[in-house]
Amino acid sequence: MGSTLIRNAVIMTMNETNDILVGDVLVIGNQIAQIGANIQVTDVDRVIEAGGKVLLPGFIQTHIHLCQTLFRGRADDLELIDWLRTRIWPLEAAHNEDSVYYSAMLGIGELIRSGTTTILDMETVNHTESAFQAILESGIRAVSGKVMMDHGTEVPLALQEKTEQSLKESVELLEKWHGAAGGRIEYAFCPRFVVSCTEELLIGVRDLSAQYGVKVHTHASENREEISIVESERGLRNVVYLDHIGLAKPNLILAHSIWLDEEEKRIIKERGVKVTHCPGSNLKLASGVAEVPELLKEGIDVGIGADGAPCNNNLDMFQEMRLTAFIQKVKHGPTVMNAKTVLQMATMGGARVLGLEDKIGSIEVGKLADLQLLDLEDFHVYPSFDADWYSRVVYAATRGDVDTVMIDGQVVMESRIMKTIDKPLVLREADRTLKELLARL
């Protein structure tokens, strides 16, 4: 890994005082060792001449399904419950080790290419080991886990789990992967959503997540049909039910959280539950618009995630940031959320959702070196004179502007060349494994 000196960048620190400065960043091992003007070091392994490029913390996406990347474009224009039952579940059920691995590699390639350095990921029921292998090899920082589903109708046989087995397999994966790669990989329990989980399973997750000190990642209140299923089966609204069984704690991360009533918002706030906003997915599935400005005002930690490729259809934080701001403007007026607030959500907001705010999310001495360098020498991001940097990055820049990406001190993309992922191989194998998967349907 060694040491890297990044010279002469516009450094958007995203620290508490939102400092932006022109200068150098010295990375030693996997940590940011020094930030300042004209750092003098004699013995450095690599110098990156950033001259005018923008250095940002890597983006943190707090809701991703790597195992679904192979299904991009195979479940368009459907209602959520149909989307799951008629397309996503059968496709997930047909996965094998090979297809999960290349689905993950395809997703990670896209994520790194567009400046994302950390993800909270939810895999499928089987072959999660292959996704962890891809995470390990690619160098991305990830909190991930196998999805858990032991309840519900119209679930393909290959995805139907017995409660005990689901918990046992989760713990086996946790014991192998939590803290792997020097802490770059973490495990999270991932009950899919209340609709596909028994109370016994959810209570098991509650106890085991407390015992092992790990996160719980689930979907909640994404869709009105989902909420009515939960209400009719459990007699309570979604988040009220999660609280009722003792799952609503600071380690619980809820994807979507669109249809919350006042009591549910109070529970989320008082229990320190975290929320992930997925604007692209919410628009495409017509799920609704989450009350993000209100949640932020209440002091609730909200991150951003692209969700899976079949409901977006990209894993691109630049698009998600733009949508995060724009959909609120339609609802609440143009002043409701500015570019800086959105960029904070994409960096430190995500770090807080994952409980990693002391390690990632900003460019500060002692933090882990998860960085992206943007090259903004192009028509669509000019002029640069007297620029509002937040506006330039959030409203004008695109993923094509990401030039170089470092994760945990390792350069994983340099001058737009992938360093840890063999792109031609991954594209070729994605097609091969998808073709074989479709033949298994």
Q: Name which position in 307, 370, 375, 408 contacts Zn ion (CB under 5 A).
A: 307
Instruction: Indicate the DSSP class of residue 274.
Output: E
- Rounded to a whole number of angstroms, the minimum distance from the CB of residue 112 to Zn ion is 20
- Rounded to a whole number of angstroms, the minimum distance from the CB of residue 278 to Zn ion is 7
Closer by beta carbon to Zn ion, 192 or else 392: 192
Q: Which amino acid is at 10?
A: V
Q: Which amino acid is at 350?
A: G
Strands (E) located in 302-346:
302-304
- Rounded to a whole number of angstroms, the minimum distance from the CB of residue 308 to Zn ion is 6
Q: How many of the chain's residues bind Zn ion (CB under 5 A)?
A: 1
Query: CB atoms < 10 A from the CB of 199, how many?
Result: 15
Closer by beta carbon to Zn ion, 226 or else 307: 307
Burial class (CB in 10 A: 0-12, 13-18, 19+), 51: exposed
> What gap in Å lies between CA 269 and CA 237, rounded to an integer?
16
Residue nearest to Zn ion (CB): 307
Closer by beta carbon to Zn ion, 88 or else 214: 88
293 sits in the region (left: phi over 0; alpha: psi -120 to 50; else beta) called: alpha
Stretch that binds Zn ion, among 51-59, 127-135, 305-313, 392-400 (CB under 5 A): 305-313
Burial class (CB in 10 A: 0-12, 13-18, 19+), 409: buried
- Rounded to a whole number of angstroms, the minimum distance from the CB of residue 127 to Zn ion is 18
121 sits in the region (left: phi over 0; alpha: psi -120 to 50; else beta) called: beta
Stretch that binds Zn ion, among 102-110, 231-239, 282-290, 306-314 (CB under 5 A): 306-314
Stretch that binds Zn ion, among 93-101, 111-119, 301-309, 360-368 (CB under 5 A): 301-309
Query: CB atoms < 10 A from the CB of 7, how many?
Result: 15
Closer by beta carbon to Zn ion, 307 or else 375: 307
- Rounded to a whole number of angstroms, the minimum distance from the CB of residue 255 to Zn ion is 5
- Rounded to a whole number of angstroms, the minimum distance from the CB of residue 34 to Zn ion is 39
Stretch that binds Zn ion, among 162-170, 233-241, 304-312, 320-328 (CB under 5 A): 304-312
92 binds Zn ion (CB under 5 A): no
Closer by beta carbon to Zn ion, 66 or else 412: 66
Q: Could you give the angle at the alpha carbon of 66 between the alpha carbons of 63 and 72, nearest 5°? A: 100
Chain residues that interact with Zn ion, rule: CB under 5 A: 307
